[in-house]
Chain A
């Protein structure tokens, strides 16, 4: 079941454009002809079960390795042609924690700011702002090792936003977090996308992280099986909830959830 994107996005310029990307691990097809766009100011949820190809897709977008086929453009710049320069407008929170545990929050963020070429003063100002927005300013001098999982995630999000990215990639950033922390992060990211006009690609397998107005991509076994606004995808499957729609789309049994 393949749903087409609504036409209301045709006049907008995508901040991320993925076209006809395929990828193999040996003979295993990890991504099969994947195409989609992410627009500024919108959260695009990438929903898929484990092994769907979400992390592979993120690795290709971030150029941890190159896509052998297809084209990836970040803010109009081709990743394969522009190389490292295409990564400039990108902020990333990987699924796996990437903070240096033996450094403090401030040291971690200063290191990242230096990699992004920010001046020390500017970096410190942005750092304070980003941490303040995530209620983490008081923990700035603490070593990351002493923080709990939720706080570490907040620091990673603050770090990803430090250089003012146009595109934010979040690879299951709330995994392993308690519900209140998860909800706070979901709310913050949605508000941020709207206020700062950031395009967000959010990989998840948790339905309650997706808002009805979010753009939705459903990825299953390396293929996009549905796309559109989340509420539209739900409506078109005839399911009552996003969870029900998802089960239908990936071939699961969700009869009890299908609207009469």
Chain B
């Protein structure tokens, strides 16, 4: 298998995902409406009630809508990760996953390519949301839009790898909605997306620790700091570590010598 074979296969997988995304315009709409409701309605209501003190990476007082924007970006990526996972379960049920898995290339490469394709889709959603947010008056540092890109790629990979891992454990499409709700909402609410951790600590020490050990919190912080052109090394380490762990477990779960796929790819004939 030549380098060009890998390159063409990677291109093919990414191209197919983007094509599917472009054909599902309602998917982009749904991806935007959800965070925009938070930004326009929720943030407007809480802007007056909640004041955000000066905490890193901010150097001045900020409005609440500016504070929650990184959290909403992470939410978009988390939903995309789950959507990608749903798409993998769907492909498996519909059979098209077999075409991918019987390709004469390493399975880890096929899965990482698929993961990266999902990240590109999530970036398209994130930057469209940022454009709409900017039109709504949410302004972030201009260079932050560019500097945050590597952070968004990494967080997208983490959520995509988590989704891929979940897809290996879900036997049927019908079970997916329950799993999604079980993962998305606790991850989002028990994090620093909506309120800073110090504020959480004042309210409940237990909840504070839950938020602290939630990878979503660190994804949000990595994005937040990146937008202000600062590096949060702790967040980078945790997000990178979680990405590797989720990815390794996914590759393990999809390995043909393991048991997980065997129960699902082919029913006994």
**Contacts of B251-265 to chain A: CB distance below 8 A:** 256-257, 261-262, 265
**Contacts of A24-66 to chain B: CB distance below 8 A:** 25, 28, 30, 50-59, 62-66
Give every chain B residue within 8 A of A101 (Cβ-Cβ). Answer: 94
Given contacts A64-B256, A90-B102, A98-B96, contact A53 B9 (CB under 8 A): no
Q: Are B102 and A62 in contact (CB under 8 A)?
A: yes
A116 partner, pick from B98, B103, B262, B268, beta carbons under 8 A:
B103
- Interface bits B96-131 vs A (CB < 8 Å: 1, else 0): 101111111111000000000000000000000000
Q: Are B266 and A55 in contact (CB under 8 A)?
A: yes
B contact face: mostly helix, strand, loop, or mixed: helix
Give every chain A residue within 8 A of B47 (Cβ-Cβ). Answer: none
Q: Are B256 and A65 in contact (CB under 8 A)?
A: yes
A64 partner, pick from B8, B12, B265, B269, beta carbons under 8 A:
B265
Q: Are B262 and A54 in contact (CB under 8 A)?
A: no
Give every chain B residue within 8 A of A51 (Cβ-Cβ). Answer: 268-269
Say how far B251's CB is from chain A's closest CB, in angstroms: 13
User: Is A176 located at the chain interface by the 8 A CB criterion?
Assistant: no
**Contacts of B8-35 to chain A: CB distance below 8 A:** 8-9, 11-13, 15-16, 19-20, 23-24
Q: Are A103 and B1 in contact (CB under 8 A)?
A: no
Bound-complex Cα distance A114 to B102 (A): 13
Q: Are A55 and B261 in contact (CB under 8 A)?
A: no
Q: Are B19 and A103 in contact (CB under 8 A)?
A: yes
B16 partner, pick from A25, A64, A86, A103, beta carbons under 8 A:
A103
Q: Are B1 and A62 in contact (CB under 8 A)?
A: no
Give every chain A residue within 8 A of B20 (Cβ-Cβ). Answer: 100, 102-103
Chain B interfacial residues counted at CB < 8 A: 38
Which residue on chain A has the smallest CB distance to residue B102? A62
Given contacts A110-B12, A117-B8, A117-B9, contact A84 B103 (CB under 8 A): yes
Bound-complex Cα distance A209 to B269 (A): 20
Give every chain A residue within 8 A of B95 (Cβ-Cβ). Answer: 94, 96-98
User: Is A210 located at the chain interface by the 8 A CB criterion?
Assistant: no
- Interface bits A53-90 vs B (CB < 8 Å: 1, else 0): 11111110011111000000000000000011111101
User: Is A118 located at the chain interface by the 8 A CB criterion?
Assistant: yes
Give every chain A residue within 8 A of B107 (Cβ-Cβ). Answer: 84
Which residue on chain A has the smallest CB distance to residue B2? A117
Bound-complex Cα distance A254 to B211 (A): 70
Counting residue pairs across A and B whose Cβ atoms lie within 8 Å, the total is 118
Which residue on chain A has the smallest CB distance to residue B4? A117
Q: Are A87 and B102 in contact (CB under 8 A)?
A: yes
Bound-complex Cα distance A99 to B97 (A): 10
Given contacts A56-B266, A66-B256, A84-B107, contact A115 B9 (CB under 8 A): yes
Which residue on chain B has the smallest CB distance to residue A91? B102
User: Is B5 located at the chain interface by the 8 A CB criterion?
Assistant: yes
Given contacts A117-B2, A117-B4, A118-B8, contact A65 B103 (CB under 8 A): no
Given contacts A84-B106, A111-B12, A111-B15, contact A64 B100 (CB under 8 A): no
Q: Can you give 25 contacting A-B residue pairs, CB < 8 Å?
A: A50-B269, A55-B266, A56-B266, A56-B268, A64-B102, A64-B266, A65-B261, A65-B262, A65-B265, A84-B103, A85-B104, A87-B103, A87-B104, A88-B1, A88-B104, A92-B98, A96-B95, A98-B98, A102-B23, A103-B20, A107-B19, A114-B15, A115-B9, A117-B4, A117-B8
Q: Which 8 A-B pairs have the closest CB atoms?
A: A114-B12, A55-B269, A117-B5, A96-B95, A98-B95, A59-B266, A87-B104, A88-B104
| A interface, CB within 8 angstroms of B | 25, 28, 30, 50-59, 62-66, 83-88, 90, 92, 94, 96-103, 107, 110-119
